[in-house]
Amino acid sequence: MSIEFVPTQAMVASPPGFLRRLRRALRGDPLALAALIVLLGLLVMAVFGSRVAPYPAQGEGASDVAARMLPPSAAHLFGTDQLGRDILSRVIVGARGAVAVSLLVVGLAAGFGMPLGAIAGYRRGRTDAVIMRLTDLFLAFPPLLLAMAIVAALGPGLDHVAIALAISWWPWYARLARGTAASLRELPYVEAARSAGLPDRTILVRHIVPNSITPILVQATIDIGTVILAAGSLAFLGLGASPPAPDWGLMVSEGRTFILDQWWLATFPGLAIFVVVLAVNILGDLLRDLLDPRRR
Amino acid sequence: MKRFLLNRFAGALIVLLGVSIITFTLARLIPSNPAALYIGPRARPDDIERVSRQLGLDQPLPVQYLVYMRDMLTGDWGTSIGTKRPVLDEILNRLPSTLELIFAAMLIAIPVGIALGVLSARWRGRPPDIGVRLVSIVGVSLPAFFLALLLQVFFFRNLHLLPLAGRTSSDLRFTNPLESITGFNLIDSAITGNWVALGDTTYHLILPAIALAAYPLGLIARMTRSTMLETLDQDYIRTARAFGLRSALIDYRLALRNAILPVLTVIGLTFGYLLTGSFFVEIVFNWPGLGTFAVHSIVSVDYPAIMGIALLGAIGYVVINLIVDMVQAWLDPRVRLT
């Protein structure tokens, strides 16, 4: 579930000052620094995939029946699964899917929601009312329920999960962009542009959208974690990638049957989801604190 | 107040109307051939045509929508493809079991979350605050299904303390059969004086409730902490301190009362999470509720059931938020006057 946060003047105004403050905040906060390192590690795994995995072929799905269900050891740090595949390799290779889905969802949701929200906040009046009522409809469903119904309708698959999540996520971006646009609209330079006779479309493209990008980017960063959690949950239900894909949620689901005896099968992919979401949330808190002057 | 209520009710009705359009679209437009889905994989062309006519799929879309609305309003939510029984019956039969789980989770999440939030705000920057912030951020980051598995391993396998899964022990129906009156096991066993069943039910409820409570607990603790900090900064609190009021009195009587309003909104929002969260917890704990039914319906593409559950979820969510709005208006006159 996204938590709405209210964009403030500070974050609309100055990105460079913001980066400087971010660096200073990171230096004083070991937990946030650790979170940043975790996310950099995730990026490396996502970019290099099987090239940084100890057993590249097994990461992709090749089985080794002789080495089934081995507990964690020096040779297999996370143990092996029911088909003898090295779980560490599968977790590493699975990073790409998790990152790709979350970027795709956040990109689609922001790409669709932001222009709509900016128009609503800038135009006000009836356009605003219509667009906001539309977001109400999508937000009327409990989180994930709409996404589940959409995936059920489209059929399982990673791409369908991404589409379904984006459809249920865009209203948050529309609302956020609307709030920023509404406050930007009152600023003197926008008023000046309006009185100089610039058409609405030009003002939106040149002034409103570029200046509301910071809060959107921050929300998108925070959402990466939530989306990984959501996509993992859908995969756990069997709605995401299908075997033998090294998908974290799917691996937890497959390992669930063995949880009492071979606990490592489900535990390590589950931990992967948890650690990544935790890291994003810790950084998200830091970003929010930085952007909200009342919290400083 | 009357005007405020009317406004909110009208708004909720409009939203529900829109929601029904979304579920209708998902149920009728996206599957290329709903009739074939109803019959199953070995459908013959003439069967499909017959079922299409039965389902009214040969009618224009607006007509189909009106028929759909009429059916929904009269309680005909279609027939489940999986169980061949009316969807609404299937849902209502399983609802009490899921609601019992949700209420149990809320019973943990609300008091503990608020208490932790207040504690954290009182000791801002000190060890209790750091501890609570850690607990709450872990709570919102743990996938419910993963926490459920960890709880099973720890409390069932390692400590032998709590049952692995299920809503009651399997031999309970022979030793102390539970009479179903409300569908809520805790209530049914208490009013029939079946103490063995009451104990057994409670025993089975603990782990799923904790697994489900973690996320809302974290969210409520975070929200309480931040609104408490804001409130404790206010002038009237400083005045109270200057007058030498006891700090416990200030925290709990003066500050918490004003800090609780935004927390209420979060509690309303978490009900929505609890419904979908219960799907995952129910699957792991083999809990015979709406969630298990929902997941089976989703996996087996049981359209009428899925759309029924989505519609019910949206109705429940809208109603809960309406109630939260009303409670807020009742507690805070500013809400109803603006």
Residues 73-92 on A with a CB inside 8 Å of B are none
**Rounded mean pLDDT of chain A?**
85
Yes or no, beta carbons of A295 and B226 under 8 Å apart: yes
- In this prediction, residues A126-141 reach a mean pLDDT of 89
Q: Answer for the pair B286, B55: CB distance below 8 angstroms, yes or no.
A: no
CB A286 within 8 A of CB A269: no
Task: State mean pLDDT over A154-183.
Answer: 90
What token pair was written down for A83?
Answer: 């088909």
Asked if the structure places residue A172 within a domain, the reply is yes
Domain hosting residue A126, numbered range: 13-60+77-291
Comparing CB atoms, the residue among B137, B144, B310 nearest residue A141 is B310
CA distance A125 to A122: 9
* CATH T-level topology, domain B89-301: MetI-like fold (1.10.3720)
User: A11 or B132: which carries more pLDDT confidence?
Assistant: B132
Q: Is residue A168 part of a domain?
A: yes
CA distance B27 to B57: 12
- Residue A4 located in a structural domain: no
| Weakly modelled stretches of chain B, pLDDT under 50 | none
**A130, A135, A144, A228: best to mutate for the B interface, most B CBs within 10 A:** A144
Q: What span, in angstroms and rounded, lies between the C-alpha atoms of A114 and A209?
A: 8
The verdict on residue A19 lying in a domain is: yes
Report the residue from B23, B152, B273 with minimal CB separation from A142. Answer: B273
Q: Closest partner residue to B273 among A1, A277, A294, by Cβ? A: A1
- Scanning A212-263, the segments in alpha helix (DSSP H) are 213-236, 248-255
- What does the pLDDT read at residue A10? 47
* Chain A 231-260, residues with CB within 8 Å of chain B CB atoms: 232-233, 236-239, 249, 252, 256, 259-260
Measured from the Cβ of residue B126, the count of other Cβ atoms closer than 10 Å reads: 10
Cβ separation A149–B279 shorter than 8 A = no
pLDDT number for residue B29: 61
Return the pLDDT at A165. Answer: 94
List residues bridging with A80 in a β-sheet. Answer: A86
Q: For residue A251, is it within any domain?
A: yes
Q: Taking a C-beta distance cutoff of 8 angstroms, is the pair A145, A159 a contact?
A: no
Distance from CA of B44 to the nearest CA of A (A): 22
Nearest CA in chain A to B148: A256
Q: Is the pLDDT assigned to residue A142 strictly greater than 90?
A: no
| Whole-number pLDDT of residue A14 | 54
Place of tokens 């790709």: A100
CA distances from A265 to A77, A87, A101, A189 (A): 12, 7, 23, 58
Interchain contact, B141 vs A263, CB within 8 Å: no
What is this structure's pTM?
0.87
Predicted pLDDT at A278: 95
Residue B30 is predicted with a pLDDT of 59
Q: What percent of chain A has pLDDT over 90?
A: 31
pLDDT at A28: 78
More confident residue, A4 or B270: B270
Q: Which helix (H) or strand (E) holds A259?
A: none
CATH number for position A209 = 1.10.3720.10
Is the Cα torsion angle B300, B304, B305, B310 positive or negative in sign?
positive
Residue A72 lies in a domain: no
- Tell which residue, B326, B336, B306, has the closest CA to residue B87: B306
Contact A143, A1 (CB under 8 A): yes
Range ranked top by mean pLDDT from A197-206, A221-230, B96-105: B96-105
CA atoms within 13 A on the CB side of B82: 18
Residues in chain B closer than 8 A to A271 (CB atoms):
146
What is residue A217's predicted lDDT score, i.e. its pLDDT? Answer: 86
Supply the DSSP string of B46-112, one letter for each residue: HHHHHHHHHHTTTS-HHHHHHHHHHHHHTT---B-TTT-SBHHHHHHHHHHHHHHHHHHHHHHHHHH
When mean pLDDT is compared across A80-89, A124-133, B188-197, B245-254, the lowest value belongs to: B245-254
Provide mean pLDDT across the span A236-259: 88
